[in-house]
Amino acid sequence: MNENNNQQHKPLRKIEELGEFGLIGYLTGNIQVKNKSTLKGIGDDAAVLETDEKVSLITTDMLVENVHFDLSYFPLKHLGYKTAVVNFSDIYAMNGIAGQFLINIAVSNRFSLEALEEFYTGVKMAAERYGVDIVGGDTVSSQKGMILSGTAVGYAEKEKIVYRNGGRPNDLLVVTGDLGAAYAGLLILLREKETFLANPNHQPDLTPYAYVVERQLKPEARKDVIEWFYQNDIVPTSMIDISDGLSSEVIHLSEASGYGITVYEEKIPVAQETAAVTEEFNIHPVTAALNGGEDYELLFSISQKDYDKIKDVPGFHIIGHYTEDPGAFLITNANEKVEMKAQGWNAFFDRQKKKP
């Protein structure tokens, strides 16, 4: 348990000491609300939000210990940060700005009060960085492990909301940043865990892997991209965030629109650091981009008429386009046209890689 790894000798406090109301008060007592849209945060039956004639967006997800995260290598502060950021990312993927966050936590009695504080510190850091108010949440006992449920609320002008289904033939498909890094970070962390289990005196040196490990442990959501859209008067025709890997998201956009999408392998952005790691593991870098997930970059489409506005934006990569005929296809570097699958690419690329 990482939360017991600290070197302090002060005994850790038990959660039961405080009782339910005391605990929630302790964890949330110093939370201040900052957004004009938050009329009332924590402390009543519900939070009260005012929306200035705008439209609200709401998203929620659940994370389960040892299913979605592993505390043996995932620090609680980072987990708090990530739990918040992944929900903000869903709001940005609608072309909205996140305003409020609610966090429900269930923990077993193996967690100390200090552990919960660490987690909350991460949530607060994310809220601070993204300008989001924490306005509610429940903290309860679990029978086993930690279970998290985050809910984010955001806002957008109605005509600026971007759905998954709006892409049309010839629209350009654009991805931000680079892909596969979070998955490469996961590969490193899992290898370090194995090494540590085999030899508890092992001192990991993650310095060469700093970039990919940070992409896994401290992902950022692309609020900056949404702000850029607003400033440059661009409304994408469709958008989704990359949580499950590029393949899965391209298929979602294609199916929602009823049209096809063609993606070019050579256009898929993968960082040098990511490629170096995946090569170490004998995995094709593009496999990590297609299937890795957890990058929280944005995948969006724009009308051809907006091409000039976006073509020179650093970090925007045009990777393909919509087509009249349905289906999501990848044009490989060998100029083969392959249907994209939400899973199974590992097999394809790893086999390809082993060819002489």
Residue matched to tokens 């919960």:
116
CB of 51 to a copy of itself, least distance (A): 5
Nearer to a copy of itself, 109 or 333 (CB): 109
The DSSP code for 170 is T
Check: CB of residue 250 under 8 Å from CB of residue 328: yes
- Is residue 114 within 8 Å of 1, Cβ to Cβ? no
Contact present, 104 and 138 (Cβ < 8 Å): yes
Q: Can residue 250 be called a binding residue for a copy of itself (CB under 8 A)? A: no
353 contacts: CB under 8 Å, gap ≥ 6: 282, 283, 284
Whether residue 183 contacts residue 177, with contact meaning beta carbons closer than 8 Å, is answered with no
Quick one: which of 240, 268, 275, 330 contacts a copy of itself (CB under 8 A)? 240
Cβ atoms < 10 Å from Cβ of 140: 12
Report phi then psi at 329, rounded to 5.
-125, 150
Q: Whose CA is closest to 133, among 84, 77, 79?
A: 84
Residue 295 interacts with a copy of itself (CB under 8 A): yes or no:
no
Taking alpha carbons only, the member of 270, 217, 236 closest to residue 69 is: 217
Could you say which of 153, 181, 221, 310 contacts a copy of itself (CB under 8 A)? 153
In the shown chain, the binding pattern of residues 59 to 78 toward a copy of itself, with x for contact by CB under 8 A and - for none, equals: xxxxxxxxxx----------
> Is residue 154 within the footprint of a copy of itself (CB under 8 A)?
yes
Residue type, 180: G
Q: Is 90 in the site for a copy of itself (CB under 8 A)?
A: yes
Q: Which of 17, 128, 138, 227 binds a copy of itself (CB under 8 A)?
A: 138
**Options 4, 14, 17, 39; binder of a copy of itself; rule CB under 8 A:** 39
Shortest Cβ 354–a copy of itself spacing (Å): 28
Q: Is 338 left (phi over 0), alpha (psi -120 to 50) or beta?
A: beta
253 binds a copy of itself (CB under 8 A): no
Smallest distance, Å, CB 68 to a copy of itself? 7
Q: Candidates 142, 303, 323, 352: give the one binding a copy of itself (CB under 8 A).
A: 142
Total of chain residues touching a copy of itself, rule CB under 8 A: 60
H-state helical runs in 199-337: 210-217, 223-231, 246-257, 272-280, 285-291, 307-310
CB of 355 to a copy of itself, least distance (A): 30
Contact code string over 95-114 relative to a copy of itself, x by CB under 8 A: -x---x-x-xxx--------
Would you state the structure tokens that stand for residue 298, as one six-digit string? Answer: 């944005």
Q: Footprint of a copy of itself on residues 260-289 (CB under 8 A)?
A: none
Positions that interact with a copy of itself (CB under 8 A): 39-40, 43-51, 53, 55-68, 90-91, 93-94, 96, 100, 102, 104-106, 135-138, 140-145, 147, 149, 151-154, 158, 161, 163-164, 239-241, 256
